[in-house]
């Protein structure tokens, strides 16, 4: 049996028991050791704001339309940051006792088929809790940098940092995506990385990771775009960030990111907007400065790079980043470790804003919590 997180209706979260299928020939069984919580995407199901819950998604046309929702309650097995211990195997592809990173949702056990399920075996020198970033979250952020590289070099991209090396980079949003993206940019030798956020505690985390920070207080008179452009000069009438990574699902953050760009600069958008984009003002800086807005969504890498930059390579880049920044990420970014039994209340509290987190991890391995 496996305990599976289930969202029964908006605001209603519980654990349900599901019987595991038999292990197929060539498959293996996992016991979950760590399961990372996405406080953005996953909470849209708890709040009821995810577009799949109200619209029909046509994958062939790439369009949402009115009709029967593509996803209905109960929603089970959400989550894409899992680490599991192989407890039984019927394949030589992975050995019993191995730790692997996968995306199979918040559940305490899982039966995997290597022909259908992607997995990444974790190296022995990597903290297992940081393994939650290897299969999906890390590649999301790495793909943002890949889009910046493609914007500058097209299909001639050689290294992940080709779009930020020696350049001035702003990251809007100090959630997990923003913090990991900032670390990638720093690891790839950006000339300077500035993280912009409205929350002092999150800016403190960004600073602890080694980034410069800039407050974006919506109630203050100071304009962070003015501050940044006074700081970053390229030439006469040419000031601002070479690249902005927009990592917060608020339209005012997107508007701010566009204002921070130098003329003809590029904003790479990794955010998920569930409420539309009414605050984005495309008639001002976007138009007059000739800016570029690119959406970096993990479902695809930039055109022409799929053969050389697949998900496996992005996971490899993530492991390299975790080896370099793992200690600081574990200390400052993973703010909550919660047992599976407490997960329903924890997600409900997050959705209702009764509790705050940066990165929460579900784990019953209490010996890991003090790390």
pLDDT tens-digit map of 274-286: 777 777 877 888 8
* Beta-ladder partners of 101: 83, 120
* pLDDT at residue 366, rounded to an integer: 54
Chain centroid offset of residue 220 CA: 29
- Averaged pLDDT for residues 334-355: 94
Peptide bond between residue 74 and the one before it cis (omega within 30 degrees of 0): yes
Model confidence at 34: pLDDT above 60: yes
* pLDDT at residue 275, rounded to an integer: 75
As to burial, measured by CB atoms within 10 angstroms (0-12 exposed, 13-18 middle, 19+ buried), residue 54 is: middle
The mean predicted confidence, pLDDT, of the chain is 93
Cβ 248 vs Cβ 271: under 8 Å: yes
pTM of the model: 0.93
């Amino acid at each position: 049996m496996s305990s599976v997180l289930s969202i029964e209706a908006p605001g209603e979260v519980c654990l349900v028991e599901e019987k595991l299928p038999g292990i197929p020939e060539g498959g293996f069984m996992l016991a979950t050791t760590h399961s990372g919580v996405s406080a953005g995407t996953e909470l849209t199901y708890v709040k009821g704001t995810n577009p799949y819950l109200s619209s029909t998604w046509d994958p062939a046309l790439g369009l949402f339309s009115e009709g029967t929702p593509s996803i209905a309650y109960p929603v089970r097995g959400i989550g894409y940051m899992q680490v599991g211990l192989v407890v039984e195997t019927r394949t030589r592809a992975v050995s019993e006792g191995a730790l692997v990173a996968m995306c199979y949702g918040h559940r305490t056990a899982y039966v995997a088929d290597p022909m259908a399920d992607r997995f990444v075996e974790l190296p022995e020198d990597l903290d297992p809790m940081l393994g939650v970033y290897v299969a999906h979250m890390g590649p999301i952020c790495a793909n943002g940098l890949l889009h910046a590289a493609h914007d500058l070099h097209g299909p001639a991209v050689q290294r992940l940092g080709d779009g930020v090396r020696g350049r001035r980079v702003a990251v809007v949003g100090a959630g997990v995506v923003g913090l990991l993206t900032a670390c990638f940019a720093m690891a790839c030798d950006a000339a300077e990385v500035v993280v912009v956020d409205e929350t002092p505690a999150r800016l403190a985390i960004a600073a602890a990771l080694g980034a410069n920070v800039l407050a974006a207080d919506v109630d203050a008179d100071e304009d962070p775009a003015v501050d940044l452009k006074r700081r970053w000069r390229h030439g006469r009438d040419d000031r601002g960030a070479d690249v902005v990574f927009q990592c917060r699902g608020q339209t005012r953050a997107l508007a701010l990111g566009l204002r921070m760009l130098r003329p003809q600069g590029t904003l790479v958008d990794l955010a998920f907007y569930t409420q539309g984009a009414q605050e984005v003002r495309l008639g001002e800086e976007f138009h007059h400065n000739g800016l570029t807005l690119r959406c970096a969504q993990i479902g695809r890498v930039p055109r022409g790079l799929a053969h050389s930059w697949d998900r496996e390579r992005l996971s490899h880049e993530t492991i390299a980043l975790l080896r370099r920044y793992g200690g600081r990420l574990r200390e400052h970014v993973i703010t909550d470790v919660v047992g599976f039994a407490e997960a329903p209340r924890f997600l409900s509290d997050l959705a209702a804003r009764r509790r705050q987190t940066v990165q929460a991890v579900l784990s019953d391995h209490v010996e890991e919590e003090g790390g």
